[in-house]
Amino acid sequence: MVVGIIGLGLIGGSMAIDLKKDSRESEILGYDRSELHLQTAVKLGIIDRAVDLEGIMEADVIVLAVPVGAAVDLLPWLLDRIDKQIVTDVGSTKASLCAQVENHPKRPQYVSAHPMAGTEFSGPWAARPGLFEGCAVIICDKEKSSMDALNAVTSLFHSLHMRPVYMNSVEHDMHAAYVSHISHISSFALALTVLEKEEDTRSIFNLASGGFSSTVRLAKSSKDMWTPIFADNAENILPVLDTYVEKMQAFRAAIAEGDIEKINGLIIEANRIKKILLK
């Protein structure tokens, strides 16, 4: 099977690295609109062959691994041109993209996917083996995809050692706002807070223990990936932001009042996350 990857950043590049090792994939074609990214991917041996957007049509399965804003234009463009090829994507928001191609005659050849893996780094330099190992891949609106397309795409994610989870695209975006998008906004806000008040960067460096580093890690993430996600999923993100600010205000009130019982209660409640996230 020939796999064609459009977008050779962290996700597309990391997929290419692991798929190249899998004997079922005969060739990995790659395209990136940045010539630098494309040549880097060739140089690092991430892909077998660089092609242009027309050349990607040689693939049996095409993976769209571009920021969500770009996918909204590229996905219909691809569906207009494919013959028997299967198309999947890896975007972090799914509802608007699924709605965009809902009535496209080639819709059954498309599988809407979101691999739940990543790091705060970007570009082909950030691509690494084993990124997806053991993670979930959310497959959205599977009833809109043909069985052949689902089988091909599930098999591709299986060879990355991912476990498929099925979800409605609208529900996906709501859940993702809570579990993924708000984490990034809270981390960006943390970085902004510290940077504004701590002009003495030496003190940040000295006082930053593992706790601060892990909480602020996502604040290193790229605007090119995250701004389109926030814009696309605003409807779900805004109420989550409001709830989050309410929780911060609950802490503020308890701390301002010196109400030990109330602070204890908030922490005990928050500790329940342990039962869900064991690692």
Distance CA 73, CA 66 (A): 11
| Closest CB 33 distance from its own copies, rounded Å | 19
Contact 116, 5 (CB under 8 A): no
Does the footprint of its own copies cover residue 170 (CB under 8 A)?
Answer: no
Contact 41, 32 (CB under 8 A): yes
17-36: which residues touch its own copies (CB under 8 A)? none
Closer residue to its own copies (CB): 2 or 204: 204
User: What track of x and - describes contact with its own copies for positions 173 through 192 (by CB under 8 A)?
Assistant: --xx-xxx-xxxxxxxxxxx
**Interface with its own copies in residues 57-116 (CB under 8 A):** 116
Three-state secondary-structure class, residue 234: helix
Give the Cβ contact number of residue 275 at 10 Å. 7
Overall residue count recorded for the chain in this entry:
279
- Site residues for its own copies, 222-241, by CB under 8 A, read 222-223, 226-227, 230-231, 234, 237-238, 240-241
Which residues in the 109-168 window bind its own copies by CB under 8 A? Answer: 116-120, 135-136, 138, 165, 167
Does 273 bind its own copies (CB under 8 A)? Our answer is yes
Nearest-angstrom CA–CA distance, 253 and 57: 59
> Positive or negative CA dihedral for 18, 118, 204, 257?
negative
Q: Which is nearer to its own copies, 80 or 171 (CB)?
A: 171
Residue 30 vs 115, nearer CB to its own copies: 115
Cβ–Cβ < 8 Å for 94, 169: yes
Number of residues that bind its own copies (CB under 8 A): 94
For residues 82 and 263, which CB has a smaller minimum distance to its own copies in the complex?
263
> Judged by CB, which is closer to its own copies: 147, or 260?
260
What are 256's two structure tokens? 């301002």
In the DSSP assignment, the letter for residue 178 is I
Closest contact distance (angstroms) between CB of 177 and its own copies is 9
